[in-house]
A and B are shown apart, each in its own frame.
Chain A
Amino acid sequence: MALPAVRMTGITKRFPGVVANDHIDFDVWRNKINVLVGENAAGKTTLMNVLFGLYKPDEGEILINGKKSTLRSPRDAINLKICMIHQHFKLIPAFTVTENVALVSVLSGKGIFGLFKDALMDLNAIEKRIASLSEEYGLKVDPKAKIEQLSVGEQQRVEIIKAIYQDVEVLIMDEPTAVLTPQEVVDLFRFLKAFGKEGRAIVFITHKLDEVMSIGDIVTVIKAGRVVATKTTTETDKNELARLMVGRDVIFRPAKGDSSLVGNILRVENLEALNDRGIKALKSVTLSIRGGEILGIAGVSGNGQKELAEVIMGLRKATKGNVFLEDDNVTNCPPFDRGRIKHSVGYIPEDRLSRGLILDFSIRDNAILGSDLLTSFTKNRILLDYKNISKHAKNLVSSFDVKTTGIEAIARTLSGGNLQKLILARELSRKPRLLIACDPTRGLDVGATEFVRQKLLDLRKDGVATLLISEDLDEILSMSDFIAVIFEGEIMKILSGGTVDIEEMGLLMAGVRKNSESSEGSR
């Protein structure tokens, strides 16, 4: 058999306190889509960062086309025609597509003279080349557009064009579908399949098993920093991969069970609001949630979900419309004002690290983050009752199985999943009537995801109204009683959770109404 394009042997990478990669052997074959699959924090991205020269491995060696290579930086990798497209794109927002692509030609020269090699850039030539590449590979993108004007999917195409422009031979894509609409995923897959046939190798990182099966040729399962299996996709199936990933069969659909519905807890009428850039992010949103009901918001991220949650919480101003908690109008009330404390609202913010808690605080201090909690844990409004606070914090930790050395531990030392559990534990300790949950399981491993979802379903049973905003469609589908599809700040349609036509939902998310193709059709 021919040599692999890349052979990594015995790669070990340690970070303080963890071994992210533990003697990993991994081959990247040409003309194949090589899938790396594993739970979050399994070590997939770390391994590829090693290949891309971002991390130096503590042990192990890398053979590229059979030759031992040391990669000191991404520039070395690029010179060896290895490109990585990260989850967070490395584009300069204020530059045009052409200028961003031109950057790589400036940077790819070797040594100090490389800096001058392309000192006089012929932007027109680059622009033409982009246009022809975009044509050739079916990657629609306007070379003159500024990055900040592009959708996430378009930005990803720019990254791909950048890679092709550098004559990439090994293309690494880190969870590329996380931010795409279903249609964009189809397009991407079509491109990858064609592109990978031309003697190039593609490494595709994911944790979605459907994707593995539909696009992968060879799949390598990584669990806790170790390779547990490498198989061709023809000799395996989803259930086996799931077992390999987590070491047991995963329950994909939690049992929902019944709940008794009570009156409207949250009612939002004709709500409008602006986003951070001053552009209308919500357009006349009307919805309501009863107690014991989960309303899922489905949509590609950036279509107003975040703004909706923030307006309801009083963190963003409503420019029009009203928010009612039961019968009280709380529109534009400050967060955790008296009205909300009375009705008790739990909030899991989208960006939990920057808003959900304070990373430099101990678990104990984070356990009482919130003006309402602070008031209930004071002795006389001035002094905090640390005895009770410690008890409360210990309760949160034990009832949600937060893995930590103790309540004095600084939040920063916890893993993402444990932080999320801590936030959830605190929010539920408020005994909320309404829970606003934004991406409650993002970044969690399968076990933690299952745990969090079960908690949400328990709340539903207890008559709590839940607004579930999630990028994970499986989550929305399996949890929601109703699904509101949001597109560009507008609720396209509210679907009944039990009987969703996935295709219709996908189209709605992309802004297409099935029964009225004429009007709102295109993007």
Chain B
Amino acid sequence: MRLPRIRIKFEERAFPTFQTTLLTSFVALLIVLGVCSVFLVNTGVNPFIAYYLIVRGAFGNVMTFAETISLTGTLLLSGLAVTVAFRVGFFNIGVEGQLITGAIAATGVGLALGGVMPIFVNIPLIILASFVAGGLTSFVPGAFKVKFRANEVLTTLMLNAILALVLSWLCHGPWREPGGWPETVALDASATLPVLMARTRLHAGIFIAIAALIAVYILFKKTTLGYKIRAVGANPDAAYSHGIKRTEIFLTAAFLSGGLGGLMGAIEITGVQHYLFPNFSLGYGYIGVMIALIGRLNPVGVVIAAFSFAALINGSQVMQTTTGIPFELTNAIQAVTLIIFTSAEILNFYKIRVIRK
């Protein structure tokens, strides 16, 4: 008997279709489960139980589900910040730094006005201050790029390190709780975001994230500014040739991007932590880059990516503490998931044809 000889051929396609996206995601999921099973079996953990724990950890009960939604809000802002920046061609890797300055600004306003002014004054001021602080943090590397052609990947990344040290200095120095740990005193209740659901940490920050999502969606879909941002990002020369002020637009987008990063800092402090301390951020600013890219710089895609990441992070944490597998292994599982899904994503841009010879 002769086996049919076949050849597999990849053909580029301009746009992925919905069906293939669904199919590749499903296949990617199967591969992820398979690969991770090897890890888990190796450490003596039943993979089925582990996966069950991840799902339960992300959605198992009201509390964990609230936690996932809350984290989704944070990651959503991070992804949106990166989306706005990348759309204009500003490779902002500094969302982490913008998150820090946003958090510092929010804490500053909160410490100054908490208990002095009512909540409906404090919260808008906190939002505004953190947006401006984050915006400026990103505006500066943007201006350096325009003025001196400084590579923003480097400048924003370096700024992250500097700002982490500024944060640490604030917590060890001027803002340190007298006689306490290197951290600030807790914010007054009038300077924190209300909790939405009793006995959970789900806070009003999710509304801020949703508002930001709607704003970014409208920005790109409906507004002149969004059009100009897309034009400058897609082809700065063409935009300039047609009278679009590319420097102005570039810096505006850089500011807006940083502002969204700053908001993330505000909700993290006033919604989750309620006081400022070094290392309060778990690298959420960096995850935004992945979320934005997996979401294809499209607000709707970013929501899905942010939710998936939140579920994966929370779920695998619960799984780790329950099964007692090494912490590194959860990181490995997250990384494998990411790699396989991003690889599968590339497949969406190809048609696969099987040719029988």
Contacts and interface: CB of A to CB of B under 8 A. Distances in A.
A, B assembled together: yes
Interface of A: 16, 313, 315, 334-337, 347, 349, 354-361, 365, 368-372, 374, 378, 381-384, 386, 410, 412-413
Contacts of A354: 235, 237-238
Nearest to A351: B237
B13 A16 contact: yes
Given A354-B235, A360-B235, A369-B242, 8 more contacts: A335-B242, A335-B243, A349-B241, A354-B237, A357-B238, A361-B234, A382-B224, A410-B15
B231 interface: yes
B243 A371 contact: yes
B223 interface: yes
Nearest to B232: A358
B14 A370 contact: no
B222 A384 contact: yes
Interface centre among A336, A365, A374 (most CB of B within 10 A): A374
Nearest to A365: B227
A382 B223 contact: yes
Given A360-B234, A412-B14, A315 B224 contact: no
B210 interface: no
Contact of B223 (A357, A384, A413): A384
Interface residues of B, number: 24
Given A336-B243, A384-B223, A386-B222, A358 B238 contact: yes
Nearest to B241: A355
Given A315-B240, A334-B243, A337-B243, A383 B224 contact: yes
Contacts of B13: 16
Contacts of B12: 16
Interface in B209-249: 222-225, 227-228, 230-231, 234-235, 237-245
Contact of A382 (B14, B225, B242): B225
A153 to B, nearest CB: 28
Contacts of A335: 240-243
B328 interface: no
10 contacts: A336-B243, A347-B241, A354-B235, A355-B238, A359-B234, A361-B230, A365-B227, A381-B224, A382-B223, A382-B224
B216 to A, nearest CB: 15
A239 B50 CA distance: 78
Nearest to B222: A383
Contacts of A413: 14
A356 B244 CA distance: 13
Contacts of B14: 410, 412-413
Interface in B150-169: none
Interface centre among A337, A347, A382 (most CB of B within 10 A): A382
B222 A370 contact: no
Q: Can you list the 9 inter-chain pairs with the closest CB atoms, starting with the nearest?
A: A336-B243, A371-B243, A370-B242, A360-B234, A358-B235, A355-B241, A358-B234, A335-B243, A369-B242
A410 B230 CA distance: 14
A384 B243 contact: no
Given A381-B224, A413-B14, A313 B234 contact: no
Interface centre among B15, B239, B241 (most CB of A within 10 A): B241
Nearest to A378: B224
Given A16-B13, A371-B242, A374-B228, A383 B223 contact: yes
A306 to B, nearest CB: 12
Contacts of A374: 224, 227-228, 244
B86 to A, nearest CB: 13
Given A16-B13, A315-B241, A335-B242, A384 B235 contact: no
